[in-house]
Amino acid sequence: MEIWINPACSKCRSALSILDAEAAEYTVRRYLEDPPNEAEIRAVLARLGLEPWDITRTGEARAAELDMATWPRDAEARDRWVRALAENPILIQRPIITADDGTTVIARSEETVRSVLP
């Protein structure tokens, strides 16, 4: 499995601790240093069954700078949101885990992390 993390995030560190305690095999992607491109974001959104605004950290200062609170949340605006996430990875909710079977979750709770363990 792969986990997108920000090492400064307590939820990310917690998820890693759970994975380590369960001896899970995983690859870490520090997505601020190795940002996903638009195609990768679209793929994750498809696996999550969510829209880009659903995984956007709208409370981040960068979101305020971009005035994202005023952006429409509809099909026509989808590309704009995806582009913003690719260009500003700090806005991506974390951690995101993709299991080997393609199951993808935003792993902000222990239960959610455990849901992707084999």
Residue in 1, 9, 28, 90 annotated catalytic = 9
- For 20-29, the CB contacts below 8 A with 24+ separation are 22/114, 22/117, 24/117, 24/118, 25/1, 26/1, 26/2, 26/97, 27/1, 27/2, 27/3, 28/2, 28/3, 29/2, 29/3, 29/4, 29/5
Decide if 68 contacts 84 (C-beta within 8 A).
yes
Whole-number Å distance between alpha carbons of 46 and 109: 21
Q: Does the annotation mark 12 as catalytic?
A: no
Catalytic amino acids?
9
